Amino acid sequence: MSRLFTLAFLAQSLRIALPYLAASMGGIWSERAGVPNVALEGTILVSALGAVAGTTATGSPWIGLVIGLCSGALLQAIHALAVLRGGADAIVSGLALNLFAAGGTRFLLRAFYDSSSNSPSIPGLGPSASSILATTLLDPTSWLVVLAAAGTTLGLARTRFGLRVRAVGEHPVAAASVGVPVLATRVRAVVLAGAVAGLAGIWLAFDQHQFSSGMSGGRGFIALAIVVISGWRPLPAVGFALLFGTAEAAQIALQDQKVVAHQVIQALPYVITLVALAGWVRRARPPAALGKS
Amino acid sequence: MNRRWSLLLAAILSIIAFELAVLAWGETPWSIAKQLFAGTWGTRYGAGQVLFKSTSIALAGIAAQIALRAGLFHLGIEGCIAVSALSVGAIGATLPQTIPRLVAWPLLALIAAIAGALWTLPAGILRARFGAHEVISGIMLNKIAGATVSYALVRGLAEKASVHTRPLPRGALLTRFSALPGSAANVAIVVAVFAVLSVAWVSRRTVFGRELRSIGASESASRATGIGVSGRMIQVLALSGALAGLCALNDVMGYKGYAEEGLGIGVGFTGLAAALLAGDSAVGLFVAALFFGTLSQGALSINARIPMEIVDVLSAIVLLLVAVAPKLASYFESPQSPRVAGEKAK
């Protein structure tokens, strides 16, 4: 068990938690505005490819970062357009966008790099140090994720925009009656969600120094689980992201000892979500107008 | 009428999107479309493969359709297929080698249906008792099903030194069609057709079906008129899971001959897409299942010239356009009711 009390273990937990953190913060922005969002998985994928394509095209990871953010925001802008203007069901739109992202990124992977599995390798933003702790802590992208989490927590609770987002998510008619532009606020929140969730994809791309087919690997769904378990609140979401990161890191560290099967850890977030849905936390209540127009 | 127009509009826009994507790749759309057709309906093998894939899609589609009738998005279909496939594979492998078909087929079909139905119970109970959205619990149950199947195979259900269960006895294998040589098309297609037609009959001609529609239209009104909404929700999700479970007949008994990880991945989603395309109609569901079956088989035949993922992109666009089509189509109609500002707060 001593393997669990090392700095490397801490770093590994953090590494796994960061993409969950970013994606769940994105999910919170969208869902608190009343727009259900199952397209986090697709958002991670497109922004990861955006970041890699931007980097290989220009040679600058910083430009890659910006393009990655824009790709995520763009995918979610389609979601906003389809749901808020087109009258599409948010679940249908989200599922379609996940399929669109999965197919589209593989299509572009072949178009850009003539490969069906992965892109050429790219430099990330962080230094290439030997320890995981150093690469994780010195990577500016990691700090952007932390910033996004802090920004979501404070922004949702303390800013005018955050208040408006919560208002249109709880009671759009009341919000409209006091002059809050409901549609515009929702569109902005969803596009912002795309950029924030996109950070998860960018982080993955820079961490692995490449784009590989289907690299989101279900993280968008874990993030969705985190959003639900945390009761659509940012701070508990941070806690659950760290918890799931630590659990996975522990499973990797203790792999050869076969303490727990990796499938058990894999299923853990989903099982907790089911329990949470049964009213485990009374306050875990969705925004009142979630999915209603 | 409106629905027909909006589907036509969605079809036209989808074709335009397809042509643009093909042109961007530097190929000619017409010749790609011809090759896609030649690789599917052009040969007996291709046609058989389309029928094989459409069988699963139709079963998943009817599972999604009956739940949609009660206003429920059953996203857990994929998990039901995975668990049913494993149950059929694991239990089927223990049957004696000499078991006659007339015993093995119905027995395993029953097991498939029961396994699928049981797997929906958490979602059904959570929805009925706690009002938890079935979409979230469905997604979670899919993920849990994947992990469970993987765990069960690793811990003993798999044949030694392999990743799948022991092969089924001969009597448990479904007959394939000799007219479609080499393809996996099998008699499960009869089960699919029968399932779609009988569910259509149930939902139109029985009290159960009538109550489902009522719940789909308004949950609170149904409750007020004395319909046991909670019970009906659990029942319809279980029925949906049972129908989805029948996919195991096609995949395990008709095609593989054993169960493994990843069976049914993507089929649940395609089935939902087919159900959304088909709306209320049983005939529409057959057409939609054949459409998606053709696309997924055709993808393989065009892959040498254009990445086959274009088909996924196309399916996604079709689905998105069908979802927004009613609103789009309404812009083309003559404006009859002027919109009142703030009439519908958005």
Token reading at A236: 């508990």
The residue among A240, A236, A232 whose CA lies nearest residue A272 is: A240
pLDDT digits (tens, 9 = 90+) for A52-109: 999 999 999 999 999 999 999 999 999 999 999 999 999 999 999 999 999 999 999 9
Kindly report the average pLDDT of chain A as a whole number.
89
What is residue A229's predicted lDDT score, i.e. its pLDDT? Answer: 87
How would you label B68-86 residue by residue, b for 16+ Cβ within 10 Å and e otherwise?
Answer: bbbbbbbbbbbbbbbbbbb
pLDDT digits (tens, 9 = 90+) for A2-18: 666 788 888 889 999 99
Is A41:A218 a contact under the CB 8 Å cutoff?
Answer: yes
Closest-CA residue of chain A to B318: A96
Is B72:B127 a contact under the CB 8 Å cutoff?
Answer: yes
Percent of chain A scoring above 90 in pLDDT: 64
Residues 6 or more apart whose CB falls under 8 angstroms from that of A236 comprise A229, A230
Q: With an 8 Å Cβ cutoff, are A36 and B75 in contact?
A: no
Compare CB distances from B319 to A96, A182, A271 and report the shortest one's residue: A96
The residue among B59, B5, B79, B241 whose CA lies nearest residue A221 is: B79
Chain A 73-92, residues with CB within 8 Å of chain B CB atoms: 78, 82, 84-89, 91-92
By mean pLDDT, which of A169-173, A224-228, A274-278 is the weakest? A274-278
pLDDT digits (tens, 9 = 90+) for B208-232: 999 999 999 999 999 999 999 999 9
Q: With an 8 Å Cβ cutoff, are B320 and A97 in contact?
A: yes
What is residue B9's predicted lDDT score, i.e. its pLDDT? Answer: 81
What is residue B76's predicted lDDT score, i.e. its pLDDT? Answer: 94
Percent of chain B scoring above 70 in pLDDT: 95
Q: Does A271 touch chain B (CB under 8 A)?
A: yes
φ/ψ of residue A212, rounded to 5: -125, 150
Residue scoring higher pLDDT (A183 or A124)? A183
User: In angstroms, rounded to a whole number, what is the distance separating the alpha carbons of residues A12 and B150?
Assistant: 25
Compare CB distances from B312 to A38, A78, A102 and report the shortest one's residue: A102
Q: With an 8 Å Cβ cutoff, are A172 and B141 in contact?
A: no
Q: With an 8 Å Cβ cutoff, are A264 and B147 in contact?
A: yes
A-B contacts (CB, under 8 Å)? 143
Residue type, A13: S
Q: Does B281 touch chain A (CB under 8 A)?
A: no
pLDDT digits (tens, 9 = 90+) for B117-155: 999 999 999 998 888 888 889 999 999 999 999 999 988
ipTM associated with this complex: 0.89
Contacts of B13 in chain A (CB under 8 A): none
Residue type, A252: I
Token reading at A287: 């925004």
Bridge partners, residue B158, by sequence:
B165
User: In angstroms, rounded to a whole number, what is the distance separating the alpha carbons of residues B122 and B141?
Assistant: 8
Q: Does A260 touch chain B (CB under 8 A)?
A: no
Neighbours of B6 (CB within 10 A): 21
Residue scoring higher pLDDT (B303 or B345)? B303
Neighbours of A87 (CB within 10 A): 16
Report the predicted TM-score, pTM, of the whole model to 2 decimal places.
0.89
Compare CB distances from B309 to A103, A186, A228 and report the shortest one's residue: A103
Cα-based angle A85, A91, A92 (whole degrees, multiple of 5) = 75
Token reading at A106: 């593989």
